[in-house]
Structure 1
């Protein structure tokens, strides 16, 4: 954003209708910092220090929300364990964004499946459990948790092995990558 030539190249990339991107963890923070040049991301928050003031690394439970995110298509309503590893995942609308207008894609839930701000269920304390946002057209999604770290059932804290194909089968998070491949055509 401080280099006009590079900023213009990024603006052109984001503006093209045949591009997409997924920002995970530090990539989420980077996308949030570029929100002003990503069409449809103007309501995204900044991601700042966790309310626990600690680096949090473990499995947490999330619920995938109904959203236009191309990565999360067909997953709305799913409640799944996912890896988290971040010290700055708090969705902070104090500095940028609009909590009432942001397109929410995923949130932390407690052991009853309810959205939560309570620690340790929500490792960063974000309001309503918010942990992923997307653009209105769903091409760009930013999330703090790491779906790439739980691609196999054996990496999950628990899974119904009989129903999901055994411990070596791919986890439901593999759908994120399959959705991206499907979008490409």
Structure 2
């Protein structure tokens, strides 16, 4: 709808990029999707306006999070370009498991507000879910945006 210009983002306050294998991920996770959005000037302008408004929120789930990284919405450089990449798991395999996560005391996620300290189970399934940051500065800059922390069986933060 954005590409056909039948809808614009000016009246939306929330934008959720869903999971799923966009373009079958043949170019890499979310790469075809990102190119479709980046190389359509109307869509790119709408996304930038939305991103820079003070009254909006966004969420990327699975492929959607990979898309947000490719668009420079997660851990971007000072010039607004991509500084974070979600790449192949260290194991080199598709990983699918039930994991435990904790909501940190200082969660920025409005949907988790009031749930700080809670531990819950989540399904994790991805082949390219490892965050790689272009610099330590970018890695530090995203720490305030962490909404869930993997925890071990004792509910202590898991290490990588």
Gap change, CA 1:82 and 1:24, over 3 Å in 2: same
Residue 109 in 1 paired to residue 146 in 2?
no
> How many angstroms apart in 1 are the aligned matches of 2:136 and 2:129?
15
The residue that corresponds to 1:45 in the other structure is: 84
**SS at 2:121 equivalent:** strand
Aligned length: 115
- Following the alignment from structure 2 to structure 1, what is the Cα–Cα distance between the partners of residues 125 and 45? 32
TM-align CA RMSD: 2.4
Alignment of 1:3-152 (within 5 A): 3-35=40-72, 38=73, 41-42=75-76, 45-65=84-104, 66-94=106-134, 98-102=138-142, 103=144, 104-117=146-159, 127=160
**Kept in 1: contact 2:84–2:131 (CA 8 A):** yes
Gaps of 5+ in 1: 118-126, 128-185
Shift of the 97–69 alpha-carbon distance from structure 1 to 2, 3 Å rule, reads farther
- Higher relative contact order (Cα pairs below 8 Å, separated by 6+ residues): 1
Aligned partners of 1:17, 1:34: CA distance in 2, in Å? Answer: 19
User: Any idea what SS the aligned residue of 2:67 has?
Assistant: helix
When normalised by structure 1's length, the TM-score is 0.54
Conservation of the 8 A alpha-carbon contact between 1:46 and 1:97: no
How far apart, CA to CA, are the structure 2 residues paired with 1:27 and 1:95? 23
| C-alpha distance after superposition, 1:108-134 (max 9, x if no partner) | 1111112223xxxxxxxxx5xxxxxxx
Deviations 1:78-132 (A, max 9, x none): 1111011111111111379712221222121111112223xxxxxxxxx5xxxxx
